[in-house]
Amino acid sequence: MATRERLRQKVETVLQLVSADKATIDHTVFSLAFTAGITIPENPLDTIRPVAVDNELSMAWPRFISAYAAAGPVIVVVEDLHWAGDRLIAMMDRLLARSTGPVLLVTTARPELRQAHPEFGAGPEAVGVLALRALTAQQSTTMLDEILEGSALPETLRRDLLATADGNPLFLEEIIRRLIDGGILVREGSGWRVAGTLPATLPDTVLAVLGARIDALAPAHKRALQEAAVIGRVFWEEPVRRATADPDVTSSLLALEAKGLVSVRPTSAIGGELEFIFKHALVRDVAYAGLPRIRRARAHAEAAHWLEQIAGDRSAELAELIAHHYRTAILGEDADLAWTDDPVARAELRTRAFAALLAAGAVARKRFAVPQALDLHQGALQLAANDAERARALEAIGDDHEGAFHGDDALPAWEGALAALENNPETRADRIRLIVKCATMTCIRWGGFKVVPPTRQVDDYIDAGLSAGPEARDRGWLLAMRAYCNTRKGDPQEIDVMPIVERTRAGNEAARIGQELGDVDLQVLATRALSGLAITQGDYARAMDLTRQELPLVDRVAASRDRALGLFWLALRYMDIDGRYEEGLDLAERSHQLAKQLAPHDVLHATHALLYGNSSLGRWQLIDPLHKEHLENFQKDKDMSCPYVRGGLLISAAVLAHRGDLARARETATLVPMNWEKPA
């Protein structure tokens, strides 16, 4: 049975405990597969923006864990959380906040987690922290007695062991193991006795004692340990066998297990491969440091090649690990020395590393791990050997910034890619794709800029794209944006020099193309743009006809965030234009329910619409909880470029003033800075 089929079977079994429908099961399967790097044909998460993927995952995992808990208590264990990125920390918080039922989340982390993420676990009351401090003198003595099974040691040795370890249990255990390795402590019956000459001094650090233990290994065992360290803390037998060229490497690994340096894991992440783990990350670090740097580079290249060979349908899951090995092989410290006598091998390695870094960065971006994606793609740019490769790396960097909603950084990267391609007539399709990205960022995603790009800049991108002869889909999007330019936020003093009839013509053609292609998102944008153009011309009946056409389309949009935003816009038009506040509030509440599973900014849109509709109907009793929710989310996302973030606060202030609560009204209004010289 294929991996994806096993995943679906198991997810269905779990979600059926809560009578989930097929759509919910499908969404969950897609999300869990995406997290694990399991390829599923036509997975909608492969085609939506990173922030939308992040939102989908943040709903799917709590849903899955909660369904699991419906059958009984569930314990979720996450080790070494201090190594986690921002996105995983955010996911842990969402699991805490959104999971229901008897769920216990257990994590281990170093104290620096609190310094890097002080907000983690700060919300829910049912969160406890158990600090593991250094062992007391009594605890250290008890541990020593248990390790030695009550054996009597010379008092001087006991005192030195306890003083040197200084409450560090790993240090104490490793010093004793070093004495056993050296034949100073030997087994006698059920205990231990001193058989050799006691050392004058004991190693004074954990690293020193680990280094001494590794240096004392038999050559074959030491080589196996060092080559295993290249793979990582978790490693597999086959790549170590290849690296050492030792057909009996199994014996070496089992000998290392007997010495407590590694251990066999009960299951393996790679089918058919025996999986090991270093007892402690420090053991791996010391073993790795002992491998000559020139050999390290070659070993990393071999590890990457092996992972590529066995990846199969798990290429996305292993992409970052493969990229790490290739990158270290060619860009690691003194890596050049490993390839000076083999330029052909280095050239092939560079090509593989470039492709691996691009692929891994794309996987990281889709997980919304934007800093990691940027780091990987900067590595690809560093390895680019020609204009075509530089363009690919720069485009990927622009995509990373776009995923984080950073237009001021995305645009220069894309324009740099365009510049790298401008002299190559064979890159027309690539240039059109880049132009569409620039137009989309400046026209639709203008909120990602510190200063909103002028409409003429958007039109310049659209002109460039249309003149290049795009295929139907790209042409449709460029035309839809031409129509949408009339209603986007920009400089209120800027005069739109393009006749409105031309923008309307573009919108109609875009809507037709979207319908022919079955592109729901294109149809939504074109219809919304045409509705805005009708409002500009004062044709409100036409605007509402188009709004009603848009409503069933929005329900078919795949991304939750885009559905929430679409419902928000529809709610405002139903209330503002048609005066149908009840229907508008129903749409706003639907947007609100979706938004609560998304980002604070999405909630702020929805609460603005609910505040606006309820205040217009004089439902003062509903304002306080909405104002509180808007204010709480405003504290998390103070985006003053968004009129709806500001507007919700000002609506609340006006209602408070009408009710005579002038102090709170002033306090709320002062949260919104006013630009009286250039009001917008």
For 279-297, the pLDDT digits (tens) are: 999 999 999 999 998 999 9
Q: How far is CA 76 from the centre of its chain?
A: 20
| CA contacts within 13 A on the Cβ side of 190 | 4
- Which H or E run contains 10? helix 3-15
| Count of C-beta atoms within a 10 Å radius of residue 669 | 16
Report CA-CA distances (Å) from 202 to 16, 179, 282, 428: 59, 10, 18, 69
Tally the C-alpha atoms within 13 A of residue 591's C-alpha that lie toward its C-beta.
29
CB atoms within 10 A of CB 163: 11
How large a percentage of the chain has pLDDT more than 70?
Answer: 96
Total residue length of the chain:
680
Phi–psi pair at 57, nearest 5 degrees: -65, -35
DSSP for 661-675, written as a single string: -HHHHHHHHTTS---
Q: Are the beta carbons of 658 and 639 closer than 8 angstroms?
A: no
Total Cβ atoms within 10 A of residue 543: 22
> CB under 8 Å to 492, separation ≥6 — which residues?
678, 680
**pTM for this entry:** 0.81
pLDDT at 490: 59
Convert the pLDDT of each residue in 162-205 to its tens digit: 999 999 999 999 999 999 988 888 988 888 888 878 787 788 89
User: Tokens 């650090």 appear where?
Assistant: 205
pLDDT, residue 655, reads 93
User: What CA dihedral angle connects 396, 397, 398 and 400, to 10 degrees?
Assistant: 90
Considering only CA atoms, which of 393, 406, 404 is closest in space to residue 434? 393
Q: What is the mean pLDDT of residues 577-589?
A: 96
595 contacts: CB under 8 Å, gap ≥ 6 = 564, 602, 603, 605, 606
pLDDT in tens, 540-569: 999 999 999 999 999 899 888 889 999 999
- How far is CA 129 from each of CA 86, 94, 108, 111, 125, rounded to the nearest angstrom? 20, 18, 10, 11, 12
Residue partners of 452: CB distance under 8 A and separation at least 6: 446, 489, 490, 491, 641
What confidence category does residue 663 fall into, taking pLDDT thresholds of 50, 70 and 90? very high
pLDDT class for 149, splitting at 50, 70, 90?
confident
Angle between helices 206-215 and 169-181 (to 10 degrees): 30
Average pLDDT, the chain: 90
Contacts for 452-459 with beta carbons within 8 Å, 24 or more apart? 452/489, 452/490, 452/491, 452/641, 453/407, 453/490, 454/490, 454/491, 454/494, 455/485, 455/488, 455/490, 455/494, 455/496, 456/494, 456/497, 458/485, 458/488, 459/485, 459/498
Q: Classify residue 100 by its DSSP letter.
A: -
Q: Is 234 helix (H, G, I), strand (E, B) or coil?
A: strand
Which residue in 459, 560, 534 sits closest to 526, CA to CA?
534
151/585: higher pLDDT: 585
Confidence of residue 495 (pLDDT cuts 50, 70, 90): low
Question: Taking residues 152-169, what's their average pLDDT?
Answer: 89
Residue 652 contacts residue 627 (beta carbons within 8 Å): yes
pLDDT at 678: 56
Alpha-carbon gap, residue 481 to 479, rounded angstroms: 5
Q: pLDDT: is 436 or 496 the higher one?
A: 436
Instruction: Tell me the per-residue pLDDT of 394-436, one tens digit each, with 9 for 90 and over.
Output: 999 999 999 888 899 999 999 999 999 998 889 999 999 999 9
Strands annotated E in 451-536: none
Contacts of 297 (CB under 8 A, 6+ apart): 328, 329, 330, 332, 334, 335, 337, 338, 339
Residue 453 is classified by DSSP as: P
Amino acid (1-letter code) at residue 91: M
Give the mean pLDDT of 459-475. 97
Contact 332, 300 (CB under 8 A): yes
At 680 the pLDDT is: 52
Residue 339 in tokens: 């390839």
Query: Structure tokens of 280?
Result: 């402690």
CA-based nearest residue to 669, from 637, 629, 639, 627:
627
Q: What angle do CA 506, 46, 105 make, to 5 degrees?
A: 135
